[in-house]
Amino acid sequence: MSQKPDTPLLSIEMVGAVAKITLCRAAKRNALSDDLVRELQVCFESLPETARAAVLLGDGPAFCAGLDLSEVRKNNTTEAVFHSRMWHAAFERISFGRVPVIALLHGAVVGGGLELASACHVRVAESSAFYALPEGSRGLFVGGGGSVRIARLIGVSRMTDMMLTGRVLDAREGQDAGISHYLVEPGKGIDKAMELAGKIAGNAPMTNFGVMHVLPRIADQSIQDGLMTESLMASVAASDPDTQLRLAAFLDAKTNKVRQAG
């Protein structure tokens, strides 16, 4: 049984309505140990009630260098399956959690680190970021949801190339491939991520919920099923009390502007 580490693996700071969550294994380039993965799950299951968005970043020179290989060296087949499913459960709490999550990427975003990034909703990359899936050269296969999430971001063909050949994408190639949404200079990422998180935190919670939980599921449905699901979600969002207040304020402001112009 693993013991509680002497130093925290995660730090959580509230900045207004934004939870700033930092991976704190800088000496290991934030490699994902079992303890860290479990802490991520607990963290996203128990965010403060005041949180409306989150920014996930890594301390030190890398966002996340992937799986801590020392923890899987002796796994048998059964243990490996449960290990993968444990990662799935933790990353589900990010992608289908309570608040939208922005990943701030710099340095190594490799293997499990790329899987973690792909579980987030928006990705801001600094120009130091680079991406790789080295599992093939180590006799491994992605196990943290990458075959689903990364393949949807960049396509099966490009992911196949990365896994078979060990190809490394730099920050610009990753941006062009669809990994990141925003590309900024070194040191500028936190300001951009917090700016975006602040905007997202100001959205109607039900709209954010629909984008996080319903939009990905619509993508898995047939066209007709997707259209029906869209109608249901649109109805729920439009009738939400928060939305009604926002619409009333918008219309009142628009009416006042017209009167003033007249």
> Would you state the structure tokens that stand for residue 186, as one six-digit string?
């070194």
User: What phi, psi does 62 have (nearest 5°)?
Assistant: -140, 150
Q: Residues with Cβ < 8 Å from 212, sequence gap 6 or more? A: 95, 96, 97, 100, 121
Active-site option among 13, 39, 115, 185: 115
Q: How many CB atoms lie within 10 A of CB 67?
A: 27
The reply to whether 115 belongs to the active site is: yes
DSSP H or E segment with residue 51? none
Catalytically annotated residue among 79, 135, 185, 195: 135
106/181 Cα distance (integer angstroms)? 14
Compute the 3-state secondary structure of the chain and give helix, strand, coil in percent, each to the nearest 5: 55, 15, 30
Instruction: Calculate the CA 105 to chain-centre distance.
Output: 11
Write out the H or E segment, with its range, that includes residue 19: strand 18-23
Enter the tokens of residue 255. Answer: 């009416």
Instruction: Assess whether 135 carries a catalytic annotation.
Output: yes
Catalytic residues: 115, 135
